[in-house]
Structures are given as structure tokens and as C-alpha cells.
Structure 1
Amino acid sequence: MFTVASNQIAVIDTQVQDYHVLEQAAQPELANLLQEIFILATGRAASADNITALQALLAEQGVQGIIDLVDAYMGQLSEQHGVVEMIKAVTKNGLGLDMTDEQVEALIPELQAQGIDTWSKLYARLITAEEAWSQPLNNRAEASSAFLDTLTEAGRDDWYAGNAVYQAVTALIQNIGSSDTSRNAVIEGLNKFAANLTETGIINKVADGYVAGATVFADANGNGQQDEGEWSTTTDAFGNYELPRDTQGMLIAQGGTDIMTNQPFKGVLTAPAGTTIINPLTTLVQSMLSSGQAATVEQAATAVQRGLGLSDTISVLTYDPIQRLAENRNDSDALAVQKAVAQVVNVLVQTSTVLSTAKGESDPLGSADAVLQSLSQSLLNASQGGTGALDLTDSDTLGQIIQNSSTASGLGETLSQEQTQQIAGITAASNSSAAASTTVTQLTQSMVVAQGEATEALAEGMQQGDFSQASEEFTGDNLDDKEADADTGYLVRSCRWKMSPSRSQSHSPNPSPSRSQSHSPNPSQRQRLRLRPTPRHPQ
């Protein structure tokens, strides 16, 4: 059998099952087994037409037809890419393994010695396995079958087509591991994805908060710029856009207005092909891929998820925390994700503004890549180090990110240790405030100040070479006062996300401690959100 350990497969016995289980299986077991074959070959869920074709082949030619199909298909791919690469692809597609060339080269003679000398025999062993190591494949097949059932019930079978659609489903399926939790989370994600399918594409979103009027394009040639002939569009008033089903390339969004904070969106957001949302978290994923910090989308997404300490029930490639909070104000996972988004953006905006000012650049985008790569590397290290999530409220952690960003942007040691500590202290206060928020309105108010007045004060401090004034104004009680007076954007107001009472109208005789001085406030000391979406809110 195959034993999974340290991302390896080792052959330790000779038993090889055959495909006769297909003839003996009844629905839905047969559909799941055919899904497993398709997933091993492609990494994604088979469509209803794919399953029908495989069932017809089985009915007409028996198991020999399936055997011949697998051997012919995999044989052709092996001629193009080599046997080693295709074994890596099959084990990645089905079991989620990231095998090295050396591991596969050591495995091949062992497989052959045990009688597994054709692609169809390897497939047969995998789809008939009952050991624990095969659970990811079983889970992926079950989720795929559930997705097809959802499409059929909605009359959308024919809409599951096109490169962009396939990539999105692949990204979801490849996030399923051996746990029921991962399977169920992806089934939920696939259900939402099915609801966003149209006859011609997928309804996607651009979000920091939702960004209205943003330009979105698919970077088919990977140069980071919108070129002639590359697909592009503009988001609507709630950050929605429709991605055509055959679009290829990573997605890039820029410009527009953040309707949570009511501030112009001055950054650039990116996302790998196959995502259904473009936001700061997908931007971190794409940064890891573009810089070579991660080899696959799955590796990068896992690093972001673990590095930020997010629940393993979500996929950062598809999760929309704002929509979840509109549906359920008590969704703790959704609020945690949006807090993480806010903290990430605070680091990116404040640090890149300081560095660009130091370099004499008017546009902070000039230093944004350096900050993004430094933050991405820190998240990657945290996800692999076994020390827990990266604490973006800790001034020492932020100071290291700022210094690494300064070096990467070509400034070297332009910032003194004292200046770095002052900048880190301001960002730590902004992020502590975000972390302490218990409502969407409070979180949005913290974002408005952090990415507006506080960032402007940091730029002025850099010009003067002294951040003392900025530190005084944007930490402690002074920061709390500014946040209490901050106006939120249209999204918060139109959805009637009400606080009772608001921070600026609190009648409590014992006001809570400064949020910027407390990482773990007592929820009873914070105002509670009453979220009542109107029909105008996007579904």
C-alpha cells in the first residue's frame, strides 16, 4: 500500500486493486469513483457531461474502456512532460502531496517492483484505497459530486465551462484535505460559487471594503500592466464585476472608491487566476507566487491563512467576510478575516507611504512591492515556524517588517532605530484598535483613521524627520477619540449596520480602556452591532 509521511509515498506491499469496483458500484458511489478518476487526471471536478461520458464508456466497453482511456491520456501527457512530472501531478491532484523529483524518482522502481507498472494500475490503487492517506481524494470526490448536484438543481450544468470557471473550481477542490472540516468548508464555497455563475461567466468582487468604480483586468502575459487586447472592466457600485468564463491570467484591480471607508482606493490589488474575490489577502497570495516564495497557489493560500491565524474552515481565495457579516452579524470567523484584512492594509499603506516619502516619491505604490514582499515573507515564516500566527499588533514584529521593507526598497538604513520604533508604534496602535473591534462599524472607523489621517501624519513626520507629533496624535486615547468621530462609507450606512450605542454617543459612566492599549478587551465593554441589510445590498 501507500503510506503518506513527510509528503512522501512509499510502497510497502504488492496488492493492486482493479477497476471491477466500478461495475459493482451503484449511484452515488459510482459517480464518486468516476470523480476520483477525473480529479487524479485534472485536479478539478468533472462536469455532468464528463460523468455521463465516462458512464457511457463503462457501459459500452466495461472496465477495459476506462483502463484504456487512463493509459492513453496519461501516456500522452507523459510524453509531453515526463513521467516524473505526471506522478507529481497525480499525487498533487488527488492527495494534495507536493513530491520532489527525488522522491518520485525513488518511488518509480518501487512501484514497478510491486506490479504497478501502468497508469491505470496506479489510478486503480488510489481510487480503491481504504487507508487514511486516501481520504483527501475521497473528500474531493464527494465535494465535486455535491457541486454537480447543486448545479443540476439550479439548472446551471451548462454554465460549468470555460478556463476561468475551471480554475476557480480547481482552486477550491485543491484546498480539501483529509478532514471533514476542509471538505464541508469547500462544499459551502462551491455552493456560493455556483450561485455566482452566469451563462457567460462568474460574478466576482473587488474588496478592501467593496471597491466601486475599480478597473479590473486579466493580465494574460503576466507583465503587471494592462495591455491592448487584455480583458478589462469596471466594478459597479458594490464592487461587483463579471469575469468572462474563458478569461486567462492573474487578476489586477486598481482605482475606485472604498465604500466602507468612503476613501479613494489608491493601491493595487491582485489575485491568482481562479479566485472569486480580489482583496488584500489574495494580493498576499499572488505576491508569494510572483516572488517565488511559494510554488503553488495552495501553498501560498495556506501560508496566508495560517500566518494570519485564520480559521481552517475558510479559503482566502473565495471568502467574502463582508457578505458573511451582512448575512450574520455574529459570524466570528468573518469578523476575524475582516480584521486581518484591515491590519494587512494598515501595514501596507502606512509603511509604503513612509518609504515613498523618504525616497521623494509622491506615489506610495513605488514602495508597495517591497512592503508586500516583506510582509509575505514574514507570514510565510510564521506559517512554517510552528510559533503561531504573525502578530501584526506587536511593535517589534512591525519594526522588523518596516526595516526589511526599507532595505528591499533601496533605502538601506535611512530610517533610524528610533524612527522605525515610532512608525511601528503608530501602526501597532492602528492594528490593535482593529483587533479590538467587535462591530463592523468600529472596525471601519479604525480603518478610516489608520489609512487616512494617520498615514498623512506619518508622511509629514518623514518629511520633518520626526514622528513625535504623529505618535502623540495616533496612539492611546487620542486615537480612540479620532476613531469615535470618524465617518464611515456608504456600504455601512446603506446596510444599516447600527451600533447601540455608538462610540461617540456612549452613555456608559465607565468608559472602556483605550482600544489601542488593549489587545483583548472585554466584549461587554464594547458596543454591539445590529446588522440589517436592505435589499440594496448585493447578494
Structure 2
Amino acid sequence: MLKHKNPAVAFAAMLLVASCGGGNDSTSAPMAPAASGGNGATATSTTSGKVVDGYIVGATVFCDTDNNGVRDTGEETVLTDAQGSFTLTATCASPIVASGGTDAATGLPFRGVLKAPPGSSVVTAGTTLLVNTSLAREQLAAALGLPAGTDITALDPAAIGSGGALANSALLQRTLAIQQVVQQIADAIAALLPNNTPAQTQAIYTETATTTGKVLQASSSSTLVSSSGTVDAATVNAIAQQALANVEASADARLAAAKAALGTVSKSNLAALVTPAIAAQAQSLASSVDSDALTRATQSGTAVADAVRQEAALLQSTAANDAELSAAAASLRQLVDAAIAEAKAAVALAVR
């Protein structure tokens, strides 16, 4: 994450002006009209917050009043501004959902679906794990190696403190690590579909995020990231296997056509192939310091999804060549490690 906000703000402002056709020099995203009471008076209760991976500019945010994860008629919708901020004109007593937009820190389009419980002031990959699960905030903090009492629904991971340094650097590292695990597992599952659609991709992401929360909820000793910043590969493996099972069993209509293609895939084989690489990617983000370039390189990588497509035959339930599967997993891990090393070298060169 950048130590200073100005470059990100400049990028986000330029993006928003362009999206408005250049006719307005304001960097604020359009908001829905203020709600009015029966006497025509403007309501004063609002719901405000930020959408954060880095700050997501131009994300679509809505109050999911029926908690179905889909924006329906009558659910107020706004766009985030240059700092990822949004304001709904009424109090939202349901989950807040955000999707789309562009990460102002990396310049990458945001492909996931983030959620937050009612009352949250931030919407992040971390808060997403609290929606549609029974995972307590205290247990989530422990599973991420954060200090007791850390409330991830109230802290901005990308906030800049005094002196221009990140105020919540450990939280940002873990936010990025969660996002990497969820997005890469979702991409791996989506890569198994012959004709994947954006709607299916978002539905798979949502199932994977919910699965991640439930895996951490299942045991008080479950950890995704330790207090020292180490990513637990066994937890990543469990998430990958259970996410595939949950996508297959999902009642989401967007996934109806996907189930036939996934039914013959071995959950353990898929997890064995992708876990070492995804854990390494998440580890690089969980231990990095203020590096937008490393985040960009890691989040934009397609090696995991590409390997799933290439090794599709090994992932079938009938495949039993453990040696070949292990070799494929090792090869994928080497590709990812090389990409991480290259990104780190570029970062080191840039700061000289």
C-alpha cells in the first residue's frame, strides 16, 4: 500500500472524471437522491463507509435488504468515490455489498464481491467472512493473527497515520492475504468451467468467501495467518476442497449450469494442485510492507487458473497419478515463486 495517498487519489480522480465523460471536474461518484419522509422532509439517517482492498473507486455498493447477494429493485445503490467512500441515504440494517470498480493502489479492476455486516464502517475481504457465517469478530481476529480486541469492521486497513505511514499495516497485510486466497481459489474453480460467465465467477467468489469464514469458524484453533504473518497451507487446502463442494451444492441459480462440469472433479486433487502456489502468494502479501507493485503483480497473476486448465485431466476423480499431480503442483509453485521474486526485485530496484 502506498505510504502517501496522493498518487492513488490522482489515479482515482482521473478514472472517475473519464467515466463521467469529462464534463464534471468533481471526483465524487454519483449518489442516489436523498430519501424523503412522508412530509417531504429529507431523512437524516445515513450509512457511510469505505470499500477497501486498496481503496476501490467506482465500486457499486448497495444495501442487501433481502440478503440474497444480488442487487434488486428498490435496494439503494451508490458508487464509491476516489477514496473508496460511499454514503447510502438511509440506515442499512442488512449486509452491505460491494463489487466492481478499480483498486486505486494497483490500478487493477476489482473482480470480487465484498460484504460487511450491518453497522460496519469498512467493506473488505475480512468483513466478507462475517456475512452468512457465525464467525465471531474476536475469532476472526485470532484466526488472522491480529491482537485481541481488533474489530475489522471498524478499522480502515489502508488508513494513513502520522508521518505518512500506514496506521493499520498488519490489518492491510491480512486483508490482502484473504483476498488473494479467496480470489485465487474462486478463479481455480471457475477455470474448470467450459463457458464461464462473469455472473458465475461472482457467484463462485461469494461461495468461496463464505466457505473461508465457515472453515475458520469450525474450530477456535483454526488460523489462516499467524501472528508472525505465516499463512497456514493446511487451512488454504481445507478452504479449496470445501469451496468446490459448496459450489457444487449451491442453490444459487447462477451456478446451475456449472454443477455438471464440476461433478467429476476431485476436491482433494484440485486442492493438492493449487494450495502450495496460493499459500505462497498469500504469504508474500501477508509479509510485504507498503508495496503496491508486489500486490499488483500477485493479484494479476493467472498462473493458478492456467495450471488448472492445463492439468484438467489430473483433477478428475478417476485420476490417481499422485506423482504426476505432485510434479504439477511443484511446477506451479515454482512459477509463482519466480513471479514473486521478480516483483520483489523490481520493488527493491525502484526504491534505490
The alignment's TM-score, normalised by the length of structure 1, stands at 0.47
- The equivalent position to 1:348 in structure 2, one of 179, 182, 186, is 182
- The equivalent residue for 1:440 is 290
CA distance in 1, matches of 2:150, 2:339: 36
Task: Call closer, same or farther: CA 1:400–1:389 in 2, change over 3 Å.
Answer: closer
Are positions 1:335 and 2:169 aligned together? yes
- The equivalent residue for 1:451 is 299
Please list the CA deviations of residues 259-283 of structure 1 after superposition, one character each: whole Å capped at 9, or x if unmatched: 1121001111111111111111111
Task: Call closer, same or farther: CA 1:274–1:390 in 2, change over 3 Å.
Answer: same
CA distance in 2, matches of 1:320, 1:452: 23
- The equivalent residue for 1:38 is none
Asked if structure 2 preserves the Cα contact closer than 8 Å seen for 1:309 and 1:388, the reply is yes
Are positions 1:311 and 2:147 aligned together? yes
- The equivalent residue for 1:301 is 137
Aligned pair count reads 275
What displacement does 1:463 show? 1.4
Letter in 2 for 1:393: V
- The equivalent position to 1:462 in structure 2, one of 264, 283, 308, is 308
Are positions 1:426 and 2:277 aligned together? yes
Are positions 1:286 and 2:131 aligned together? yes
Letter in 1 for 2:175: V
- The equivalent position to 1:406 in structure 2, one of 238, 244, 263, is 244
What displacement does 1:327 show? 6.1
Task: Call closer, same or farther: CA 1:325–1:349 in 2, change over 3 Å.
Answer: farther
- The equivalent residue for 2:340 is 479
Please list the CA deviations of residues 343-379 of structure 1 after superposition, one character each: whole Å capped at 9, or x if unmatched: 1001111000010111332432232233223211222
CA distance in 2, matches of 1:409, 1:327: 45
Are positions 1:371 and 2:208 aligned together? yes
Letter in 1 for 2:183: V
> Relative to structure 2, which stretch is displaced further, 241-250 or 277-286?
241-250
> Which structure has greater helix proportion?
1
What displacement does 1:478 show? 4.2
Matching of residues 239-278 of structure 1 within 5 Å: 239-278=84-123
CA distance in 1, matches of 2:119, 2:350: 44
- The equivalent residue for 2:192 is 358
CA distance in 1, matches of 2:95, 2:267: 38
CA distance in 2, matches of 1:506, 1:260: 17
CA distance in 2, matches of 1:246, 1:482: 43
CA distance in 2, matches of 1:478, 1:219: 38
Asked if structure 2 preserves the Cα contact closer than 8 Å seen for 1:216 and 1:235, the reply is yes
CA distance in 1, matches of 2:307, 2:88: 42
Please list the CA deviations of residues 290-345 of structure 1 after superposition, one character each: whole Å capped at 9, or x if unmatched: xxxx1xxxx632222222121224311111021145766264xx111111101100
Task: Call closer, same or farther: CA 1:407–1:236 in 2, change over 3 Å.
Answer: same
Asked if structure 1 preserves the Cα contact closer than 8 Å seen for 2:298 and 2:340, the reply is no
CA distance in 2, matches of 1:260, 1:330: 13
Higher RCO, Cα 8 Å, sep 6+: 2
- The equivalent residue for 2:76 is 231
CA distance in 2, matches of 1:206, 1:462: 30
CA distance in 2, matches of 1:268, 1:304: 19
CA distance in 2, matches of 1:219, 1:310: 29
Structure (1 or 2) with the larger CA radius of gyration: 1
Please list the CA deviations of residues 385-427 of structure 1 after superposition, one character each: whole Å capped at 9, or x if unmatched: 3x76655723333222211212222236714756533311111
- Structure 1 segments unaligned to the other structure (5+ residues): 1-197, 289-293, 486-501, 508-539
The alignment's TM-score, normalised by the length of structure 2, stands at 0.70
Task: Call closer, same or farther: CA 1:223–1:373 in 2, change over 3 Å.
Answer: closer
Asked if structure 2 preserves the Cα contact closer than 8 Å seen for 1:211 and 1:235, the reply is yes
Letter in 1 for 2:187: T
CA distance in 2, matches of 1:199, 1:457: 49
CA distance in 2, matches of 1:277, 1:469: 38
CA distance in 1, matches of 2:351, 2:126: 34
Asked if structure 1 preserves the Cα contact closer than 8 Å seen for 2:138 and 2:149, the reply is no
CA distance in 1, matches of 2:62, 2:192: 31
Asked if structure 2 preserves the Cα contact closer than 8 Å seen for 1:406 and 1:412, the reply is no
- Structure 2 segments unaligned to the other structure (5+ residues): 1-42, 249-261, 312-327
- The equivalent residue for 2:218 is 381
Report the RMSD for the aligned CA atoms in angstroms. 2.7
Asked if structure 2 preserves the Cα contact closer than 8 Å seen for 1:217 and 1:233, the reply is yes
Task: Call closer, same or farther: CA 1:421–1:449 in 2, change over 3 Å.
Answer: farther
What displacement does 1:235 show? 0.8
Instruction: Give SS of 1:350's match.
Output: helix
CA distance in 1, matches of 2:178, 2:89: 29
Task: Call closer, same or farther: CA 1:255–1:389 in 2, change over 3 Å.
Answer: closer
Task: Call closer, same or farther: CA 1:316–1:505 in 2, change over 3 Å.
Answer: closer
